[in-house]
């Protein structure tokens, strides 16, 4: 098995040219089924200063039939200029049916999808949902077709998550199932190709290829543009991988394809990566450095979504509110915004750029009937400009996700979160004063390294004190490479982690039920999503605070034209009188159809 290690964060230059050649050479000697990364081959040529003796000798080339074909491709292969071009800012995308110029060792025909059917499966966070659409957009332009039927697929791509051990285990299990699908494939059909995309490809790199020989391609989160090339290499039975992380890839020019044409809402990725380096978190290692997409391209995407009739966009990123568009020199003169009081960063202060408040302002002006949400923010970046904007714009949802992770200052320090419990609680008060009625949600980790019973009780008390409406709670899962892995001890027994997690969930539910009961008797503005999963007689939608609202599908008045009696459709705004509440859902009866700008919730 060859080693296909294209180091994280940075560029090819991180790899010594000689090392790179040796790795490529090892690939080539293995014969037709050897793993070859086309990117690796490019790097070999790219480092033209490498002594020629470092490349495979002509004698060895003749020993191996594969090498002949390969060496002739390599002879006409990419130059240093090709490499520079591909490493620079991506060019404008060709029009829909065009395919990018192939690298010299592939033909245009090899790059085309040839009507192969791709089945995409997404695991993990919303960022992965968006990445799936980006990957699909790229493949579609290359002539691939999409299928939602696994049996029909010629290519199966899993968009993976590495955040916790369990998430990775799910993928390994899935790969075992797919293995049998691949081996039972009829010879009359083209061979089935399987690819691992996203965080797990990035974290485990060639370990996946070694463990699961049936995996044909690996593409890290910044390598989706190369999917057609990787699949083209895989067509010849070789494994192919690109797990390079980029400093500037934001897929700004790739318009994600909406997977469900009837969807009322869409995700718009505004930044990628994370520089925070919380001590427990693998994300900075799998998704690389923080970088923001240019404001103009975000606005263009949101405008298109509005024209398509979508009623809600969620701005996405690992730290959305740390957004900083430095794509133009003049943006560096932009007025700087402060961190939230009592918060610090693990990195050197960054300067200039268009910040999140600017983006939010511009996005919310595009369509007054379009709800704007954002996730996931970091508590350190909530300057007053952002809070005021949320307060004053009707279409920016009054809902803030404020991941606390722990209620103990001691644990927060070990987590390197950059704030104490006191600073966090002060921020909560400030947010509640600035945005009356705001809905709050949070993430918590139970059983982090060194967490005492007292620390745990502090988290319980934070849950009681804040009374979140929505919560995401996890047991700590140690991740290699992280600071906690290197410096701290994962010393809380599994059963204690799980017991503490259960306690947090119970307290969260009790408090959320209380918080949500305060809606009973109130009227909520609900964006209708479609039929309720539990009953065909009911419809389901979400209120401004992102809580699920269930109501009977009944005829109602259309407030925009009182002569009409209508039934709610997906994408409609309706007013619903809330009659009951649980920790996760509100129930009520529909009053009328309305518009976002003409109605507000009231009690």
Which positions touch ligand 5AD (CB under 6 A)? 163-164, 280-281, 403, 405, 443, 445, 474, 476-477, 479
In the bound complex, what is the minimum distance in angstroms from residue 26's beta carbon to ligand SF4?
A: 34
User: Could you tell which of ligand SF4, ligand 5AD, none binds residue 378, using a CB distance below 5 to 8 A set by kind?
Assistant: ligand SF4
What x-and-dash track marks residues 45-84 binding ligand SF4 by CB under 6 A? ----------------------------------------
Using the minimum distance from each CB to ligand 5AD, give the nearer residue, 83 or 343.
343
User: Could you tell which of ligand 5AD, ligand SF4, none binds residue 319, using a CB distance below 5 to 8 A set by kind?
Assistant: ligand SF4
Q: Is residue 371 near ligand SF4 by the rule CB under 6 A?
A: no
Using the structure block, give the residue that is written with the tokens 């109130």.
Answer: 522
Distance (Å, whole) CA 103 – CA 115: 21
Q: Is residue 412 near ligand SF4 by the rule CB under 6 A?
A: no
Using the minimum distance from each CB to ligand 5AD, give the nearer residue, 398 or 401.
401
| 275 closest CA partner among 315, 223, 323, 234 | 323
- For 132, 212, 245, 296, 364, the CA distances from 122, given in Å and listed in that order, are 7, 19, 20, 28, 29
| 315 closest CA partner among 265, 264, 379 | 265
Distance (Å, whole) CA 299 – CA 312: 14
Q: Is residue 201 near ligand SF4 by the rule CB under 6 A?
A: no
Spatial contact of 557 and 565, defined as CB atoms under 8 Å apart: yes
Find the helix or strand (DSSP H, E) in which 578 lies: strand 573-581
In the bound complex, what is the minimum distance in angstroms from residue 376's beta carbon to ligand SF4?
A: 7
Sequential DSSP letters for 474-487 = EE----TTSHHHHH
- How far is the first Cα of the chain from the last one, in angstroms, to the nearest whole number? 66
Q: 580 CB contacts (<8 Å, ≥6 apart)?
A: 520, 586, 587, 588
# chain residues binding ligand SF4, by CB under 6 A:
10
Q: 68 CB contacts (<8 Å, ≥6 apart)?
A: 61, 62
Q: Is residue 378 near ligand SF4 by the rule CB under 6 A?
A: yes
Using the minimum distance from each CB to ligand SF4, give the nearer residue, 278 or 507.
278
Using the minimum distance from each CB to ligand SF4, give the nearer residue, 43 or 276.
276
| 277 closest CA partner among 230, 214, 345 | 345
In sequence order, the β-bridge partners of residue 354 are: 325
Among 106, 281, 473, 576, the residue binding ligand SF4 under the rule CB under 6 A is 281
Buried b (16+ CB within 10 A) or exposed e, 578-591: beebebeebbbebb
In the bound complex, what is the minimum distance in angstroms from residue 227's beta carbon to ligand SF4?
A: 24
Among 239, 276, 327, 469, the residue binding ligand SF4 under the rule CB under 6 A is 276
Q: Among the candidate windows 276-284, 337-345, 526-534, 589-597, which touches ligand SF4 by CB under 6 A?
A: 276-284
Using the structure block, give the residue that is written with the tokens 């080339």.
Answer: 61
User: Could you tell which of ligand 5AD, ligand SF4, none binds residue 445, using a CB distance below 5 to 8 A set by kind?
Assistant: ligand 5AD
- For 201, 245, 582, the CA distances from 223, given in Å and listed in that order, are 10, 8, 43
Using the minimum distance from each CB to ligand SF4, give the nearer residue, 349 or 536.
349
Q: Is residue 278 near ligand SF4 by the rule CB under 6 A?
A: yes
Distance (Å, whole) CA 234 – CA 111: 11
Q: Is residue 372 near ligand SF4 by the rule CB under 6 A?
A: no
In the bound complex, what is the minimum distance in angstroms from residue 8's beta carbon to ligand SF4?
A: 15
Q: What is the DSSP letter of 584?
A: S
* Bridge-based pairing state of the strands 117-122 and 145-146: parallel
Spatial contact of 259 and 173, defined as CB atoms under 8 Å apart: no
Q: Is residue 284 near ligand SF4 by the rule CB under 6 A?
A: yes
In the bound complex, what is the minimum distance in angstroms from residue 148's beta carbon to ligand 5AD?
A: 27
Do you find a cis peptide bond into 376, omega within 30 degrees of 0?
yes
Crossing angle of helices 126-141/227-235, nearest 10°?
A: 60
Q: Among the candidate windows 89-97, 272-280, 381-389, 547-555, which touches ligand SF4 by CB under 6 A?
A: 272-280
Spatial contact of 225 and 209, defined as CB atoms under 8 Å apart: no
Edge to edge, what strands does the sheet with 193-198 contain?
Answer: 145-146, 117-122, 155-160, 193-198, 217-219, 240-242
User: Could you tell which of ligand SF4, ligand 5AD, none binds residue 164, using a CB distance below 5 to 8 A set by kind?
Assistant: ligand 5AD
Q: 83 CB contacts (<8 Å, ≥6 apart)?
A: 12, 42, 43, 45, 46
Among 268, 283, 428, 601, the residue binding ligand SF4 under the rule CB under 6 A is 283
In the bound complex, what is the minimum distance in angstroms from residue 330's beta carbon to ligand SF4?
A: 29
Q: Is residue 274 near ligand SF4 by the rule CB under 6 A?
A: yes
Using the minimum distance from each CB to ligand 5AD, give the nearer residue, 132 or 239.
132
In the bound complex, what is the minimum distance in angstroms from residue 463's beta carbon to ligand SF4?
A: 19
In the bound complex, what is the minimum distance in angstroms from residue 416's beta carbon to ligand SF4?
A: 8
In the bound complex, what is the minimum distance in angstroms from residue 417's beta carbon to ligand SF4?
A: 7
Q: Is residue 484 near ligand SF4 by the rule CB under 6 A?
A: no
In the bound complex, what is the minimum distance in angstroms from residue 181's beta carbon to ligand SF4?
A: 33
In the bound complex, what is the minimum distance in angstroms from residue 237's beta carbon to ligand 5AD?
A: 37
User: Could you tell which of ligand 5AD, ligand SF4, none binds residue 163, using a CB distance below 5 to 8 A set by kind?
Assistant: ligand 5AD
Chain residues in the site for ligand SF4 (CB under 6 A): 274, 276-278, 281, 283-284, 318-319, 378
């Amino acid at each position: 098995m060859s080693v296909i290690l294209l180091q994280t964060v940075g560029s090819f230059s991180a790899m010594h040219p000689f090392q790179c050649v040796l790795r490529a050479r090892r690939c080539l000697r293995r014969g037709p089924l050897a793993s070859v990364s086309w990117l690796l081959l490019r790097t070999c040529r790219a480092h033209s200063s490498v002594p020629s003796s470092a490349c495979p000798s002509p004698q060895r080339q003749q020993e191996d039939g594969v090498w002949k074909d390969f060496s002739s491709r390599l002879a006409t292969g990419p130059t240093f200029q090709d490499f520079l071009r591909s490493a620079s800012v991506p060019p404008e995308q060709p029009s829909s049916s065009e395919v990018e110029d192939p690298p010299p060792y592939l033909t245009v025909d090899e790059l085309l999808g040839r009507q192969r059917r791709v089945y995409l499966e997404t695991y993990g966070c919303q960022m992965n949902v968006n990445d799936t659409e980006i990957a699909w957009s790229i493949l579609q332009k290359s002539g691939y077709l999409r299928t939602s039927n696994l049996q029909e697929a010629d290519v199966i791509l899993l968009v993976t998550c590495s955040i916790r051990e369990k998430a990775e285990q799910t993928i390994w299990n899935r790969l075992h199932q797919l293995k049998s699908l691949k081996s039972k494939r009829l010879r009359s059909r083209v061979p089935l190709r399987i690819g691992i995309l996203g965080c797990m490809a990035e974290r485990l790199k060639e370990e996946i290829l070694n463990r699961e020989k049936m995996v044909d391609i690996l593409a890290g989160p910044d390598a989706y543009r190369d999917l057609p090339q990787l699949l083209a290499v895989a067509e010849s039975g070789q494994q192919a991988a690109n797990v390079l992380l980029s400093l500037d890839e934001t897929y700004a020019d790739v318009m994600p394809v909406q997977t469900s044409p009837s969807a009322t809402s869409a995700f718009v990725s505004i930044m990628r990566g994370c520089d925070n380096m919380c001590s427990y978190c693998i994300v900075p290692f799998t998704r690389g450095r923080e970088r923001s997409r240019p404001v103009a391209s975000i606005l263009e995407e949101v405008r298109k979504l509005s024209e398509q009739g979508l009623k809600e966009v969620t701005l996405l990123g690992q730290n959305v509110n740390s957004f900083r568009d430095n794509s133009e020199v003049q943006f560096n003169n932009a007025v700087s915004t402060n961190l939230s009081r009592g918060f610090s960063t693990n990195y050197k202060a960054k300067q200039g750029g268009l910040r999140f408040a600017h983006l939010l302002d511009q996005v919310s002006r595009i369509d007054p009937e379009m709800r704007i949400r954002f996730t996931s923010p970091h508590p350190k970046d909530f300057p007053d400009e952002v809070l005021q904007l949320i307060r004053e714009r009707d279409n920016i949802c009054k809902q803030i996700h404020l991941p606390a992770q722990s209620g103990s200052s001691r644990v927060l320090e070990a987590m390197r979160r950059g704030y104490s419990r006191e600073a966090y609680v002060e921020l909560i008060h400030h947010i509640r004063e600035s945005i009356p009625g705001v809905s709050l949600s949070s993430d918590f980790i139970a059983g982090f390294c060194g967490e005492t019973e007292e620390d745990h009780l502090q988290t319980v008390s934070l849950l009681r004190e804040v009374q979140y409406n929505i919560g995401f709670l996890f047991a700590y899962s140690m991740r290699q490479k992280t600071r906690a892995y290197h410096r701290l001890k994962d010393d809380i027994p599994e059963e204690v982690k799980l017991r503490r997690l259960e306690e947090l969930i119970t307290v969260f539910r009790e408090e959320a039920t209380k918080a949500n009961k305060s809606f009973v008797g109130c009227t909520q503005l609900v964006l209708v999503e479609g039929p309720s999963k539990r009953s065909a007689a009911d419809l389901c939608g979400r209120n401004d605070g992102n809580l699920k609202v269930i109501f009977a599908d009944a005829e109602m008045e259309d407030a925009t034209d009182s002569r009409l009696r209508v039934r709610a459709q997906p994408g409609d705004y309706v007013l619903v009188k809330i009659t009951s509440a649980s920790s996760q859902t509100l129930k009520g009866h529909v009053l009328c159809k309305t518009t976002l700008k003409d109605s507000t919730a009231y009690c």
